[in-house]
Amino acid sequence: MSQNLQYGGQAVIEGVMMRSPRFFAVACRAPDGQIVLKLEDLARSWLARLRWLNRPFLRGTLALLDAMALGIRALRFSADVQLEEQTQTVQQKRINDLAIGSTMVVGLLVGLGLFVALPTTLTQLLPWKHPVLLNVLDGILRIALFLGYVTAVGQLKEIRRVFQYHGAEHKAINTFEAGLPLTLESAREQSRIHPRCGTSFVMVVLILAIFVFSLTGRPPIWIRIPLHIALLPLVAGIAYEAIKFAGRFKQAPLTRWLLAPGLWSQHLTTREPEEAQIEVALRALQAVVEQEQQASETVAVA
């Protein structure tokens, strides 16, 4: 298996989702202590039809759609495992799916309101009129709100466990990228920080947004908020390329310096995991790595 293939993941309820270029796996710790695994081929997903977006500075949008779609599927599966899927009725599963979907939609709307609309509305009340200064203050306030929000929710017991699984996900990927065997002994010693992380991505987006939004001047607020929202795919595209580059050269001093804010912020969204949590992350990663190996061997034989 080529180590150049990039793997990513996400923490879910008592588990970890891992994805490779062609496969998707979710491993969860069930209430009885067993690890339950779900593995799928991504070739049949509707996102595969959007490959025309897989171009520099456009693929950031595809990555966001991909993360949202796979994240919802992973959360649904992890919730089913915790509720002991085999005992659920069809109606209960539908209610569970509706609750997760509704939570994602509400979360997206709250995020846009909290991190886009609120900062620009508050700075509108300031006496200063310089557009660049106000837009920079918008960005600083967005970053402060994001860090404050993450710090606050991290105090919740359930979220702390999710953050531990987030750390386990990073340890597993760092183990693989170091060329070490995917064992508990190897993963235990790895860092829980990784430059190609969603938290780093958000921080890079927030920082880049300061520069991009500053170029738009200071139109009326009823134009400014929709304009900022419309520019987010562009900002995400630039941020994605930066994170992708960093993932390939994560040991370079310049890379670590440029991405230092994102790396630092991961100390808020990850926690040192338990060994049982690392085992779950390794199981998910092993599943997609093995599938990639088999797919590569099949292509080579053909």
pLDDT (0 to 100) of residue 92: 58
> What pLDDT is recorded for position 90?
55
In 3D space, the residue among 264, 239, 178 whose CA is nearest the CA of residue 56 turns out to be 239
Domain ranges of the chain: 8-301
In total, the chain counts a number of residues equal to: 302
Per-residue pLDDT, 144 = 94
> Tokens 């170091």, residue?
178
Asked if 18 contacts 7 with a C-beta cutoff of 8 angstroms, the reply is: yes
Q: What is the C-alpha separation between 49 and 102, in angstroms, rounded?
A: 25
Return d(Cα 167, Cα 250) in angstroms, integer: 17
pTM of the predicted structure, to 2 decimals: 0.85
Q: What is the pLDDT along the chain (302 residues), one digit of tens a residue?
A: 334 457 889 999 999 999 988 889 999 999 999 999 999 888 665 555 666 666 776 777 777 777 778 888 888 899 888 886 555 555 555 665 666 666 667 777 777 888 888 998 899 888 888 888 999 999 999 999 999 999 999 999 999 999 999 999 999 999 999 999 999 999 999 999 988 888 888 888 899 999 999 888 889 989 999 999 889 888 888 888 877 776 677 667 777 777 788 889 999 999 999 999 999 999 999 999 999 888 877 765 55
| pLDDT confidence of residue 103 | 67
CB-based contact 261:207 (threshold 8 Å): yes
Q: Which two tokens stand for residue 14?
A: 């008592």
pLDDT for the residue numbered 49: 62
Q: Which strand (E) or helix (H) includes residue 77?
A: helix 59-82
What is the pLDDT at residue 4? 45
Please report the pLDDT score of residue 198 as a whole number.
83
Instruction: Identify any residues that bridge with 278 across adjacent strands, giving them in sequence order.
Output: none
